[in-house]
Copies of this chain bind each other. A is one copy, B any other.
């Protein structure tokens, strides 16, 4: 058996127990065969997760690399209000990662796969000096129900889920720790290592048809909000006082964290004012916070102590 076949067999074994679901053919053939449900649109997204760029081999436990690689790709399905269905795993591994590292990675990936209801459908493997991961997630939404970035109108109210900056704070803590980050050490590190895409919230917002535009926050509010505005051809005003920030005792720069912290995978969404009362202040224990509104003026402005200034994109940008 070739080295590649051994690796594929190891992956297949880790996922041996998964239910067949909508997949007719999974791993082992030239491609996977998948039966789309009637009256559903297919949602397609893919994400890099690369050693050195998105994670560090000596800081991120392999189990977290497995979880996070699928969770962050699935967050894009949540951002459309869809249901994750299956995924493709492209994995390039160094020779010394094919034993223990791989086993732990697959354990984390399988946990995410089960938690998110997203089956392994296939993929591609090769050998490489650095660990390279690419994940494609296939989801579904009832035809016409998926929420785009492009539907926001002037006057819509802007909301976010959760607390902004937690994952960035977790990354700082992880960088301070020796060796692997430990999810047990605190909730911020846990959020950085094992993010939970807001699938249920996204589905509820899409189904109730109360949001006009939605996206997930992966690079940070200051980078992501202008993207939603640009796709919708609008601007926005947000008030710094309204941002759901981490508690003061945890950081001195909670505003900076809320505006520019990446990797939160919370949802940012716009709501017509007449639907605002349907939103409430939480969804199944997850805080929902109104942070501002959409404007006709295409600038994105932020208010602090009574003064408005343009929001500067300072979130994650690999090309900076």
Which B residues are CB-close (under 8 A) to A43? Answer: 31-34
Chain B residue contacts of A41, Cβ below 8 A:
24, 33-36
A46 touches B80 (CB 8 A): no
Mark contacts of A65-87 with chain B using CB atoms, 8 A cut-off: 1 yes-contact digit, 0 otherwise. 00000000000110110100010
Instruction: Pick out which of these stretches binds chain B: A104-112, A131-139, A188-196.
Output: A131-139
Q: Which residues of B contact A132 (CB under 8 A)?
A: 48, 50, 132
Chain A stretch 182-217: residues in CB contact (< 8 A) with chain B: 214-216
Residues 18-46 (chain A) with a chain B CB within 8 angstroms: 24-25, 28-36, 40-46
A241 beta carbon closer than 8 Å to chain B: no
Give the CA-CA distance A24 to B245 in the complex, in Å: 36
Q: Which of A155-163, A297-305, A312-320 contacts B (4 or more CB under 8 A)?
A: A312-320
Contacts of A24 in B (CB 8 A): 41
Given A148-B25, A320-B3, also A30-B123 (CB < 8 A): no
A124 interface residue per 8 A CB criterion: yes
* Residue of A25, A128, A134 with highest tally of chain B CB at under 10 A: A134
A121 at the interface (CB under 8 A from B): yes
The reply to whether A44 and B128 form a contact with Cβ atoms under 8 Å apart is: no
- Whether A237 sits at the interface, judged by CB under 8 Å, is no
Q: Is residue A143 contacting chain B, with contact meaning CB distance below 8 A?
A: yes
Interface centre among A4, A30, A223 (most CB of B within 10 A): A30
B-chain residues with CB within 8 Å of residue A227 when the two chains form the complex: 5
Q: How many Å lie between the Cα of A31 and that of B202 in the bound state? A: 14
A77 and chain B: residue at smallest CB distance? B31
A318 partner residues in chain B, CB cutoff 8 A: 3-4, 125-127
A79 touches B31 (CB 8 A): yes
**Docked-complex contact A124 and B90, CB < 8 angstroms:** no
> In whole angstroms, how far apart are the Cα atoms of A149 and B163 in the complex?
49
A contact residues, range: 35 or more
Indicate if A7 sits at the interface (CB-CB under 8 A). Answer: yes
A221 contacts partner chain B, Cβ-Cβ < 8 Å: no
A320 — nearest CB in chain B belongs to which residue?
B3
Distance between Cα atoms of A44 and B90 in the complex (Å) = 13
Q: Which residues from B are CB-within-8-Å of A256? A: none
A139 to B25, CA, bound (A): 14
Residues of chain B with a CB closer than 8 A to A90's CB: 46-48, 134
In the complex the two chains form, is A79's CB within 8 Å of B4's CB? no
Q: Are B33 and A313 in contact (CB under 8 A)?
A: no
A42 in complex: contacting residue of B4, B34, B148, CB < 8 Å? B34
In the complex with contacts A90-B134, A318-B3, A318-B4, A45-B30 CB distance below 8 A: yes
**B4 lies within 8 A of A50 (CB):** no
What 10 A-B pairs come out closest when comparing CB atoms?
A: A3-B319, A31-B45, A30-B79, A36-B36, A134-B134, A127-B318, A30-B76, A126-B318, A2-B317, A32-B44
Other than the known A31-B43, A48-B90, what 10 A-B pairs have Cβ atoms closer than 8 Å? Answer: A3-B320, A30-B80, A34-B44, A35-B41, A44-B86, A45-B122, A53-B127, A53-B128, A95-B319, A127-B318
